[in-house]
Structure 1
Amino acid sequence: MMKPKRTDSVGFAQVLRSEWTTFCQARGSLIAMVVAALVTVLLGLAATGLMHCEGPNGSACPPVPIGPGGEAVRDKFYFVHQPLAGDGSMTVRVTSLSGLITYPPPNHDQIVPGVVPWAKAGIMIKENMKQGSAYAAMMITGSHGTRMQYNFTQDTAGSPGGVSAQSPRWLRLTRSGDILTGYESTDGTRWTQIGTAHLVGLPATVQIGLFVTSPGDVTVQEHASRLTQATATFDHVSLHGNRWTGTSVGSLQDKSAPSVGNLINGVPALSIGSFNRSGDTFTVTGSGDVAPGTEEGWTTERFLIGTVFGLIVVIIVAVFFSTSGRLPGRIYASEQANPKPGRVLVAKAIVISLVTFTIQLVAAAITVQLGKHIMLSNGKTVQPVAPLIELRVVVGTAALVGVVAVFALALGALFQRRVVAVIVGFILAVLSFILANLAPLAVSQWLLRLTPAAGFAIQQSIPEYPQVIGLYTPPAGYYPLAPWAGFSVLCGYTALALGLAVFQLHRRGT
């Protein structure tokens, strides 16, 4: 007698409920998922002890300035200013921009002439003298030509080239209500508009004047930033009078008189800042930066450092779940009513992703909020980020772990050997990320582009700004792909692995 042919009479909802029951009744799997979450929490909180910061005279860490958009900023420069009541304008001519840089290691005590690419000199209108307050500036830079920048993150390029006595640069900044407009000229007669800034809520009286700043000279190979300063010469200043005040914004002391400093090898040492006026000519020296903050304090994703180790547990659980059998007789009415193997695998993927995402979401939220509370209570610095960015990091981390769980599940179905699937999943998702943080920059960049470890980009909380030279490396929390682009690479690997696994199961007929 011929054996009846098996039919796929089981609905997907029944299959999903069956796999949910299977997972929930596997107490070992549930315990392992909780352990993975605890690893995320405990290692993240333990990492807060690695943050060391001490202010002057042993005081607590100085607070990170916060810009108008709620982001961390750098707001340190020398400002020669006076009040501006209502609308107005300022025009200057810049005839020189020079600088000093600390000598490369190991001779840190030596100073050599040089201007870093993002040294800035020009005109600024600033809401007040508080760090992080709104501003707009028209400037000439060390190597990036003229720019109009405002509120730290906004940057508009003007014409390229430098400045010298033979090729001076004319700059103009005007205010009309909340609208500030920047212009440049090569002769003081023909003007080109560079950009505009709408600073909502700008008070009636603001500060206007000349500013100079010079950020650190960053060398990625040495993972170091050398101190620098810049000096600019201005003349043809359209604002007159003796109300000029020199202020070193962001420094512990202000100076309104020239400061030459000590001589090192016959070169003036770096100073906080100064200005000297001779008739219509101003010589201003400054150091620091007016830009987005990229390295100030402990970033949000660093609280989630335990995620990568919790992934190891998740990969093991997912692989074992992929090869677990159905509970006989629990949902299906007969041996002839068996679901297609592809349906079973997809149902397993939904179950493992939902369980993992939910547990890790709770773990990530607890870790970030509790970690911030601990660090701030101990006087340590936490990098402020906008609420939506913090939400993306927390939810994205949970999604990252959930997708890796599905990836490991698909590998288990593909290889049908648990040990092989666990090893492959570990190498591609975990080891690649670890190596990217240890390997040379060129190698790590490719690892984080071409492997599933690219998904960790979803945790990046501070963007890479073109107008800020920094240590944009994986250990510092920066990735070669944008957050969602990197996450898409991981999703692509997962979709491919799951599709191949379903295809292979159909071919096997199991």
Structure 2
Amino acid sequence: MSAGIAAPERSDQRAGRRDFAHLLRAEWTKFRTVRGWVIGMVAAALVIVLLGLLSASGNHASCSGPGETACPAIPVGPDGEAVADAFTFMHRPLAGDGGITVRVTSLTGIITYPPPDHDEIVPGVVPWAKAGIIIKESTRQGSAYAAVMVTGAHGVRMQHNFTQDTAGHPGGVSARSPRWLRLIRSGDTLTGYESADGTRWTEIGTAQLTGLPSTVQVGLFVTSPGDLTVKQADLGGSIEQVRFTQASAVFDHVDLRGDAPPGAWSRDVVGAGGMTDWERFHRPNGVQESGGTFTVSGSGDIAPRMDGQTIERTLTGALTGIILVIVVAVMFVTAEYRRGLIRTTLLAEPRRGRVLAAKALVIGAVTFCAALPAVVLTVMLGAPILRSNGNYILPVTPLTEARVLVGVAALLAVAAVLALALGVVFRRGVAAVVTTAAVIVVPHVLATTSVLPDSAAQWLLRLTPAAGFAIQQSVPEYAHVLGHYAPQAGYYPLAPWAGLAVLCGYTAVALGLALLRLRRADA
């Protein structure tokens, strides 16, 4: 008996799938036979490409200095990211396993010309000034490393390979409250420790540096990134300023264990740039020794580099393209209401949910298939143009680049489905187009063009469908790098997929309202 019942059920399911396939083909036929809709979708793709290339062509960068000199190469870290790798390094070679222990008794510094008056150099330590011990593959910028450090305002940390950061105990350092640091190498594993008295040690974390050579450089380091301040502009948005800083740390009880040659320490300023006025007339970056106590002064940073162009900078045309997509998607459904053809559609398929699903799938798929080649072509052609104009493009992994390309195409596709749903709800083209643009395009423009304060812009991109634009962010925000992480700088408050999920959530709600409207209202 059960087998006899199951066979008709399977037959009904297959018939239902065939009916839905026929419905999809019918909706696709409607779309491709209306020349205006096809032209509109092609125009959206062309706009993405042309505006993107135009933006890349007009974006120029150059390095200041006497004469026409090329910009220096930016170092790249072990994982392929652009990095800042500039610090004062007192070091020796270490062959095989071993480690270093040191006591830090002071961390001081200077900040040049901070606000509000910008008229003097003041004492101070920026929050991510770093002083401690490091084991590094070599003195080459971008080479692998692990370090244990005290910081200006974030306590003890263990960091490795630029992007990885592990917190130790909070608090500062002074002669009355020194910090003991230890870093041990065992093969490719480096383990960091800290202590308040040099007797009781606490492990901070470990780092696996695969492929680390037998002989590495080990020693003391100090660095101090620029002092960043963000000022609220009179007309909204913000203005950021970065000033030179220098940190100085005092080390003693330096204990190096392992196969290290005896003799004097080497002293290098890795990634050294031009000397500032402060260094010229006061203390330059370097090392001073007195009776086994070392005072190390340094500037710069060891961290991911955040200044540079991103691959999504070539996709500025997507915002205009999305407006054209919205218009086409709305017309795809409202034209049937305007001409009275929706009655014929619903007579052919009384299950209105299927009609809505078929229309949504068709417009979403058509948009995605039109947008993806446009996005890929724009990035492929736009990136070389940016480079030829002197811009540095921050490198990303192939997976991240694929997420940006596919994600932007998906962003346009979901926006098209949202517009279609609102077209069913309003049944009037102008109202649906204006509403869709108002909830997707307008919040993004307000948030990214310095019209609003940063906090308001971030909330706007959390709570509105414009959150979907987060899918195009290729370079993440790093908690251990001080930066102006604001929408106007290309940073979104939500993670890429979370932002797209917000847009999908709004679209799902709009589809629900559209289905309710279809079922309750006369066609």
**Residue 366 of structure 1, CA deviation:** 0.9
1:10/1:337 contact within 8 Å kept: no
CA distance in 1, matches of 2:85, 2:244: 16
**Residue 132 of structure 1, CA deviation:** 1.1
Q: Amino acid of the residue matched to residue 251 of structure 2? A: F
**Residue 214 of structure 1, CA deviation:** 0.7
Tell me whether 1:319 sits opposite 2:330 in the alignment: yes
2:63 — aligned with what? 54
**Residue 63 of structure 1, CA deviation:** 2.6
Aligned ranges for residues 111-510 of structure 1 at < 5 Å?
111-221=121-231, 222-239=239-256, 241-252=262-273, 261-263=279-281, 268=282, 271=284, 273-295=285-307, 297-325=308-336, 337-437=348-448, 438=450, 439-510=452-523
CA distance in 1, matches of 2:453, 2:347: 57
CA deviations 1:410-446 (Å, max 9, x no partner) are 1111001111111111110101100011311111011
CA distance in 2, matches of 1:149, 1:290: 9
> Which is further off, 112-121 or 224-233?
224-233
Segments of structure 1 that go 5 or more residues without pairing to the other structure are: 1-7
CA deviations 1:32-70 (Å, max 9, x no partner) are 111111211122122222242326443233333211111
Q: Amino acid of the residue matched to residue 342 of structure 1? A: G
2:6 — aligned with what? none
Q: Amino acid of the residue matched to residue 247 of structure 1? A: D
> Which is further off, 176-185 or 103-112?
103-112
Tell me whether 1:36 sits opposite 2:44 in the alignment: yes
1:12 — aligned with what? 20
| TM-score computed with the length of structure 1 as normaliser | 0.91
CA distance in 2, matches of 1:63, 1:36: 37
CA distance in 2, matches of 1:335, 1:459: 38
CA distance in 2, matches of 1:24, 1:366: 23
1:10/1:339 contact within 8 Å kept: no
Q: Amino acid of the residue matched to residue 268 of structure 2? A: T
Aligned-residue CA RMSD (Å)? 2.4
2:235 — aligned with what? none
Aligned length: 490
2:60/2:389 contact within 8 Å kept: no
CA deviations 1:294-350 (Å, max 9, x no partner) are 22x111111111111111111111111121339x9x9x9999644433322221111
> Which is further off, 213-222 or 372-381?
372-381
CA distance in 1, matches of 2:117, 2:268: 31
Which structure shows the bigger proportion of residues in helix conformation?
2
Q: Amino acid of the residue matched to residue 54 of structure 1? A: C
Q: Cα distance 1:26–1:158, how it changes in 2: closer, same or farther (>3 A)?
A: same
CA distance in 2, matches of 1:334, 1:307: 33
Q: Amino acid of the residue matched to residue 91 of structure 2? A: H
Other structure's SS at 2:474 match: coil
Q: Amino acid of the residue matched to residue 136 of structure 1? A: A
CA distance in 2, matches of 1:412, 1:92: 68
Q: Amino acid of the residue matched to residue 515 of structure 2? A: V
Q: Cα distance 1:472–1:51, how it changes in 2: closer, same or farther (>3 A)?
A: farther
2:59/2:386 contact within 8 Å kept: no
Q: Percent identity?
A: 60
Other structure's SS at 2:470 match: helix
**Residue 124 of structure 1, CA deviation:** 0.5
> Which is further off, 311-320 or 72-81?
72-81
| TM-score computed with the length of structure 2 as normaliser | 0.89
1:149/1:155 contact within 8 Å kept: yes
Segments of structure 2 that go 5 or more residues without pairing to the other structure are: 1-15, 232-238
2:34 — aligned with what? 26
